[in-house]
Structure 1
Amino acid sequence: MSIQGIDPRTGSPVGDAVPATDPQPLLAAAADAFGAFKTTTPGVRAELLTLLADRLDAAAATLVPLAMAESGLPEARLTGELARTSAQLRLFASVVTEGAYLEAILEDADPTATPPRPVLARMLEPIGPVLVYAASNFPFAFSVLGGDTASALAAGAPVLVKAHGSHPGLSRAVASLAARAVADAGLPAGVFGIVFGDDEGVTALKDPRVKAAGFTGSTKGGRFLFDVASARPDPIPFFGELGSINPTVVTPAALAARADDIVTGFVGSFTLGTGQFCTKPGLLFLPAGHGLGPALTAAVAATPPAPLLNARIGDQLASGLAELAARDGVTVLATAADAPAEGSWASAQLFTTTAPALAEDPSLTDEHFGPAALIVEYRDEDDLFAALATVEGSLTATVHGEAGDPFPVARLLSVLADRAGRIIWNGWPTGVAVSHAMSHGGPWPSTTNASHTSVGTTSIRRWLRPVTFQSVPDALLPPALQAANPWHLPRRE
């Protein structure tokens, strides 16, 4: 079996097909490399991450056109995404060098404690080889050298990437770059590997040498893989980022103060990247009688059709929106110009319903991956909060309000914080900063584990586990826990 890249703008093949990969040699190599890689110094890992970033930047002129051909995404977007990806790698190099992520703790003995306390030393250790599933919608930032790979390598865990079928040529090129960087850094080849083929990706997930997995993609695909990981004789952590509807609430005061900005910002956000952002605002709650219909219709009509990432996404979007339009209480508010027949294009669509209808039929909150969104009109506070009670977990939730807003915004923020991993005030959720304080996770179905995040420096915790050494002589402790502190780590003592 081979994986063929397809240009979604034309439907034509891109480059040569990439053959499926036997994962067994790669799994063996990753397992063999783990012992050496997990004991590398912070400097060695930081050097690898920096080298990967430098090589990625140096190859931009070759990689960006290839990404454009296989994804249909524009040059400016992909150029920025590549820069974000190399910045992620450098950020994790700084995390490794700084060392707080190890959470090193030293405790002296205390025979007077109840119960008596021995000498204890605790730190986080890499969990083992990690399997990362690349995403379709971010060919660089959530792919071969994306955040999952960067954070796992920073942790000291060898990485096996399951390439996404939408961009096999790009994945092969980036993987080749990464393999050369690993070799040039003097590390075992098993520190990094790549697998092509869906069945092969499932085979790798079942293998006992894989100790954790990360995934970004659809709810259906992620749930399938989550069940595979959980059904193993030795179940492993599966950190999946799945569907997200990302509710946005506009208060009456915000509507009165800046209606035009809300229309422009909302339409720009839900159509950005042809609506293929996991943070797309799929639900917009507006006060009944908002009067924005004509402005929203005009803004949607002015949005040109754009290519989707692949034909499968196009088919799922078309069938899902046809079903949504047929629902009782749902009206098509606006549709952009027809999309070209060739390739996999989509036109923006906007639907409207009421808060009582949503409260009665929670399935109206199902995600539609593409340039589509649903407006929900609420009459009063009770109307709004009853509808929000039916909204499932999301990566983000947004509130547009005003200073001194008479609406109960504090309660609103509290309710939304129970349902999302990031709360935005007077902004739009598309756009995720890569930083220490960022969270990119949330309750099911946005992620399979709400305790963790796939963006930001704390994402490294997914690939680590705590180990406590009790009464172990100092000379036998890992360097991070030795009294001399040879790595100069911040520690709790």
Structure 2
Amino acid sequence: MTTLTSTDPRTGTVTETGIGLTDEAEVSRIAERAASAVRQIADRGRGWRSELLRAMARETEAGRELLVATAAAETGLTEARLNTELTRCVLQFELFADAVDEGSFLEAMIDHSTVTPLGPAPDIRRILRSIGPVAIFGSSNFPFAFSVLGGDTAAAVAAGSPVILKAHGSHPLTSRNSFDALLRAARSVEAPEGVLSIVYGQRTGAQLVAEPAVKAVGFTGSLEVGRLLADIAARRPEPIPFYGELSSINPVVITADALAGRADTLPEDAAASVAGSGGQLCTKPGVVFVPAGIAGEEFVARFAAAVAGAAPHAALSARVLDLFDEARGRMRDRPGTTGIEEASAEERGGSWFSSSVLRVDAADLTPETIEEAFGPFAVVVTYDSEEQLLSALTMVPPSLTATLHLGAGEHARHDELIRTLTDRSGRVVFDGFPTGVRVSWAQHHGGPWPSTNSIHSSVGVTSMRRFLTPVAYQNAPTEVLPTELHDDHTGIPRRIDGILQLAAAEETS
């Protein structure tokens, strides 16, 4: 039997994992078991799903020491970063449990039968329910938060969907240990078979998307692989939604007034956002716009020096490093770009980044000048006027985030700039930096193509919406309705005859 290996990117050491590739027949059996679990999950109700999510939080926390040590050896990420990421997962499971208890995500609505100007109208009751089994692909750069223990898993479980996890090939041991924690949680609440499953191997991903029992896909990864999987999802006899987080440049714009007021901190703060975690974050700024002139030149010099001076960081894998070097090399060769700082990776074995910064004048910017380079690298663009800045921004692909640093009281003068950034991103950050995505009710982590192919968020409570589908019941007897649509149920917020009614405080689900 072919087994997977694990590589420590810090040293290049290869370890046998003993994890076998999942064969085609087993993938199909897993998908069928997941399909059989959908009704069992629904029958157990929201209270049971909340209990499962809280058990996931407990088991994740209980496994912290082993999980962090394993992930550090497979990703090269620091233990401090990984501990923070694991805490995020614990809090995320708890947040989704709270959301399931609260119940507004169901969007429950009741329109009682009545007589309208068009004549008699029937009783209509609408609710969201699980879309069915969900395939979730783990990402390389977040071995916890966007992988087996991640937000997609939490959102799908909260929605009532069985989850089939595709382990990422660069951290198989982390995936297995994470899944073991989830299995312990599932067993502690006597979950039915098929609620949680995992598959291993590159080829299993394509088969998983094509499996008839799978009804939606959550993916975080490269634009190239995302396109391939999205095409499979679209070509099925029954096409299914593919929710991909794919590619993002995340522009940062600094105005002259902002630079004048915060010149002592902005260059180093921007560099920390670019180089943190080796620049291997989906929200890492890939391009920074600064005003031309003396202050701008000082910013460029200090920013470049800070990026180049950041602590050396291992790439997540040799493949990530190769792609980074290729993208950076293409941008270096384009007309108008100039390299201004570079720190060479020390010879230490494994896969280590060389950090660097390029610069270009806004007048020379083209759509080809800037592309995503997944690592400690950014392009600085100097601009002479807001008109030139607005034109240059159209050369940057739409992104997950856009950041704007303004001086005091400047907002009213930059209405067009704010509108442009809003139109071209999913989250607009003011006077801060985009790295770090809060897990909350209001968060939106998505954006226009090519950052994602969806209008939905992959972070926060509303990310559940990807794995829910509506159903309306017309003149249905009470006995066949979900509990949340019974007239006497007051445990969740509902819209009744057009009027929003809050849940009764004393009732629980």
Q: TM-score, normalised by structure 2?
A: 0.94
Looking at structure 2, the residues matched to 397 and 339 of structure 1 have their Cα atoms a distance apart, in angstroms, of 33
- Deviation digits for residues 224-245 of structure 1 (CA, Å, limit 9, x no counterpart): 1111111111110000001000
Aligned match of 2:130: 126
Aligned to 1:416: 421
Which letter does structure 2 place at the counterpart of 1:443? P
CA distance in 2, matches of 1:62, 1:295: 40
- Map of 1:296 onto structure 2: 303
Tell me which residue corresponds to 1:35.
39
**What residue is the counterpart of 2:229 in the other structure?**
225
Aligned partner letter, 1:402: G
Match of 2:246 among 242, 248, 251: 242
1:15 deviates by 4.9
Letter in 1 for 2:407: E
Match for residue 328 of structure 2 among 298, 321, 328: 321
2:384 maps to 1:379 = yes
C-alpha displacement of 1:406: 8.0
Q: Which runs of 5+ in 2 are unaligned?
A: 497-509
Question: Counterparts of 2:92 and 2:39 in 1: how far apart (Å)?
Answer: 25
Shift of the 116–335 alpha-carbon distance from structure 1 to 2, 3 Å rule, reads farther
Match of 1:3 in 2: 4
SS of match in other structure, 1:313: helix
Q: Distance in 2 between matches of 1:389 and 1:310?
A: 32
Look up the match of 1:16.
17
Equivalent residue runs for 1:395-406 within 5 Å: 395-405=400-410
Answer yes or no: is the 8 Å Cα contact 2:307–2:377 preserved in 1: no
CA–CA separation in structure 2 for the residues paired with 1:116 and 1:2: 65
Q: Would you say the 8 A contact 1:183–1:189 is kept in 2?
A: no
SS of the counterpart of 1:492?
A: strand
Would you say the 8 A contact 1:205–1:228 is kept in 2? yes
Contact 1:395 1:440 in 2 (8 A): yes
Q: Could you tell me which residue of structure 2 aligns to residue 310 of structure 1?
A: 317
Q: CA deviation at 1:417?
A: 0.6
Q: Which of 325, 329, 345 is the aligned partner of 1:338?
A: 345
Give 1:365 shift. Answer: 2.4
Alignment RMSD (CA, Å): 1.3
Q: Does 1:93 align with 2:97?
A: yes
Q: Distance in 2 between matches of 1:108 and 1:297?
A: 64
CA distance in 2, matches of 1:113, 1:430: 54
Is residue 433 of structure 2 the alignment partner of residue 432 of structure 1? Answer: no
Answer whether contact 2:135 2:166 (CA < 8 A) is retained.
yes
**Structure 1 pair 402–37 and aligned structure 2 pair: CA distance change class (3 A):** same
Cα offset for 1:342? 1.3
Q: Which amino acid aligns with 1:244?
A: S
Amino acid at match of 2:308: A
* One-letter code aligned to 2:307: V
- Cα distance between partner residues in 2 of 1:300 and 1:107: 59
Partners of 1:180 and 1:244 lie apart in 2 by 36
| Contact 1:40–1:156 (Cα < 8 Å) also in 2 | no
Indicate if the aligned counterparts of 2:151 and 2:458 stay in contact, CA closer than 8 A: yes
Asked if 1:67 is matched to 2:84, the reply is no
Give how far 1:17 is off. Answer: 4.2
The answer to whether the 8 Å contact 1:88/1:434 transfers is yes
- Partners of 1:379 and 1:406 in 2: CA distance: 19
Measure, in 1, the Cα distance between the counterparts of 2:18 and 2:340: 42
Q: Structure 1: how far apart are the matches of 2:124 and 2:225?
A: 43
Task: Give the distance between the partners of 2:37 and 2:178, measured in 1 at CA.
Answer: 21
Distance 1:264 1:470 in 2: 60
Give secondary structure in 1 for the equivalent of 2:136: strand
The residue identity in structure 2 corresponding to 1:296 is F
Runs of 4+ residues deviating >3 angstroms: none
The equivalent of 1:390 in structure 2 is 395
AA matched with 1:291: E
In structure 2, the partner of 1:443 is 448
Residues 124, 24 of structure 1: CA spacing in aligned structure 2 closer, same or farther, 3 A cutoff?
A: same
The whole-number CA distance in structure 2 between the counterparts of 1:115 and 1:308 is 67
Q: Name the stretch that deviates more: 18-27 or 343-352.
A: 18-27
| Unpaired runs of at least 5, structure 1 | none
- Distance change >3 Å, CA 478–CA 297, structure 1 → 2: closer
Q: Distance in 2 between matches of 1:313 and 1:274?
A: 11
Deviation at 1:40, TM superposition (A): 2.3
Cα displacement (A) at 1:470: 0.4
Cα separation, 2, equivalents of 1:264 and 1:81: 23
Cα deviation code 1:350-388 (max 9, x no counterpart): 000121222xx2022211111110001111011111111
Distance across 2 between alignment mates of 1:170 and 1:112 = 59
In the alignment, is the contact (CA less than 8 A) between 1:57 and 1:86 conserved in 2? yes
SS in 1 for 2:401: strand
Contact 1:182 1:189 in 2 (8 A): no
Alpha-carbon displacement from aligned partner over 1:303-337 (angstroms, at most 9, x marks no partner): 12210100100011111111111111000011124
1:120-174 Cα offsets, whole Å, 9 max, x none, are 1000011000000000001111110200000000000000000001110111111
Q: 1:475 offset after TM fit, Å?
A: 2.0
Q: Is the Cα contact below 8 Å between 1:5 and 1:17 reproduced in 2?
A: no
Which amino acid is the alignment partner of residue 276 of structure 2? L
1:114 Cα deviation after fit = 2.4
SS at match of 2:84: helix
Identity %: 44
1:456 deviates by 0.8
Per-residue deviation, 1:115: 5.7
User: How many pairs align?
Assistant: 489
Alignment-mate amino acid for residue 437 of structure 2: V
Counterpart-to-counterpart distance in 2, 1:480 and 1:427? 42
Contact 2:59–2:184 (CA under 8 A) maintained in structure 1: no
* Maintained 8 Å contact 2:405/2:431: yes
TM-score (norm 1): 0.97
CA distance in structure 2 between the partners assigned to 1:338 and 1:309 by the alignment:
15
User: Could you report, residue by residue, the CA deviation over 1:247-274 in whole angstroms, capped at 9, with x for unpaired residues?
Assistant: 1100011111112311011110000100
Where does 1:136-151 land on structure 2 (aligned, <5 Å)?
136-151=140-155
